[in-house]
Each structure stands twice: as structure tokens, then as C-alpha cells.
Amino acid sequence: NAGVMQNPRHLVRRRGQEARLRCSPMKGHSHVYWYRQLPEEGLKFMVYLQKENIIDESGMPKERFSAEFPKEGPSILRIQQVVRGDSAAYFCASSPGIGQGARNYGYTFGSGTRLTVV
Amino acid sequence: AQSVTQLDSQVPVFEEAPVELRCNYSSSVSVYLFWYVQYPNQGLQLLLKYLSGSTLVESINGFEAEFNKSQTSFHLRKPSVHISDTAEYFCAAAGGTSYGKLTFGQGTILTVHP
């Protein structure tokens, strides 16, 4: 059981470039959550996805950020035209089912992608 | 909206001393509570969780937390800490209409000194 896999571990982008962060959930998990951890702050919820569906994107910035979880392949968090304020650690978590799954088992977190915008 | 408050941003203690990391939550409906630990430059590891049943929950490495509904608290305790417990600890809550979304506290940095 490989757990939640995130890549890359570290990502450096120049201002204006695009950043793509990938997350492969645990085997058997069909729900993915993205969180952002800014320096000196706790984790903030961004988006909750099922396969091919966005369930809750209330934490996503309105512009430049998007997320998907296709039928095949990992979940992708995309940040277009990055700015210095996007520098943060981005964590992905997965759970085995809608609502109750997370409550019953807890989330399993990946090791995160640390994005640095220069 | 649900909120989680960790009352101490930093807690320094000496090795083998007891420690308590405080967490309060606000919710008017059933809530599920978690403690996660994060070591430097690593992801979050689940330490323990309260879903239902006994209000005292324990982890395998000596931590325990008690769910107190009247005080809306879920404080984390350990009777004797080790240097290896140095890390950042996050309290989190899920429940109500927020499906599986976790709301995190700001984190408490526990530093254990020799």
C-alpha cells in the first residue's frame, strides 16, 4: 500500500509560469482533497473531488486555480500565472468514500508539494 | 461555519515532563475530531481521532485526547514527552454539512528540550 503519492516534492516556478501538482490517492480511495499550508499558518481547505466531479471548491481562489480528478490518472491541481503569494506547501489527502468514509477512517495525507515562486 | 482554535502557538517543555496541547472547536452539530502531527518538511500523520463512543482516545505512542462536549474541547496530552515528540501538532474537525472537509487549527509547535 503506497499511500497517497504527491509529486513533485519540490517545485520552483518563475512568476507567470504554470504549476501542476499531482496527487495519486491510496488504492481504493475515490475521494481527494487539496489543502494549502502557507508559512506560519495552518492548513486551509481548497477543494474536494470525486472521480470526474468537483464536490466542494469553496476554498479555491476564484482565479488562476483549478483542480480535476479524471476517471483515469491522478488528481491535478493547476495554478496558472503563479505569483509569489502562491508559494506554499500543497497537501493532498484521500478517503475511501463520500463523507462517512473520511469520518470513519480519517484522511490519509501525502507528503506534500512545496511550491516556490521566484 | 465550523472553526478550530489551538490556544498555544508554541509549547516548550523539558524531556520527560507532561504536556497538554489545547484545542477548542465550535460546532452546533455532531463533530468528528482529529489530531495530526507534522515533522519538519513532511506530511501529516494521523495521531488519533474521536468519532463516537468513549470520550478518551489514545494513540500508540502515548498521546491521549479527551473529547469534552460541554467545553467543546479536545485537548491532547502526554504524561512524559521525548525529544522525538518535537513536531507541529494540528487539531482538526469534520462534521455537520461539510461532508469530509477538515477544518484545521493554526497548529502548535511542541519543542522538547533535553
Phi then psi for residue B68, to 5 deg, are: -125, 100
pLDDT, mean of residues B17-22: 97
The nearest alpha carbon in chain B to A10 belongs to: B41
Q: Provide the strand spans (E) within chain B.
A: 3-6, 10-14, 19-21, 23-26, 31-38, 44-50, 56-58, 64-68, 73-78, 87-95, 103-104, 108-113
Residue A40's pLDDT is 74
Q: How far is residue A12 CA from its own chain's centroid?
A: 17
Question: In chain B, what residues touch A110 (CB-CB under 8 Å)?
Answer: 43
B42 contacts in chain A (CB < 8 Å): 111-112
Look at A94-103, B52-61, B100-109 and tell me which has the smallest mean pLDDT.
Answer: A94-103
Separation of alpha carbons A60 and B71, rounded Å: 32
Q: Which tens digits make up the pLDDT trace of A24-44?
A: 999 888 889 999 998 777 899
Residue B59: CB partners within 8 Å, gap ≥ 6? Answer: B35, B47, B48
Q: Which amino acid is at A26?
A: M
**pLDDT value at position A105?**
59
Q: Where are the alpha helices (DSSP H) in B4-68?
A: none
Decide: B49 and A106 in contact? Cβ < 8 Å: yes
Q: What are phi and psi for residue A12, nearest 5 degrees?
A: -115, 130
Looking at residue A101, its pLDDT comes to: 53
Q: What is the rounded average pLDDT of the residues B25-46?
A: 85
Report DSSP state, residue A58. Answer: T
B109 touches chain A (CB under 8 A): no
Residue B74's pLDDT is what? 95
pLDDT at site A1: 53
Asked if B44 lies within 8 A of A91 by C-beta distance, the reply is yes
pLDDT tens-digit map of A63-77: 999 999 999 999 999
More confident site: B50 or A113: A113
| Residue A116: per-residue pLDDT | 97
Q: What is the Cβ-side half-sphere exposure of residue B95, based on CA atoms within 13 angstroms? A: 20
- Looking at the predicted structure, is the pLDDT value of residue A99 above 60? no
- Residue A101 near residue A95 (C-beta atoms within 8 A): yes
How far A100 CA lies from chain B's nearest CA (Å)? 7
Q: What is the pLDDT of residues B81-114, one digit of tens each?
A: 999 999 999 999 887 555 568 889 999 999 999 9
Q: What percent of chain A has pLDDT over 70?
A: 91
- Of the pLDDT bands very low, low, confident and very high (cuts 50, 70, 90), residue B57 is confident
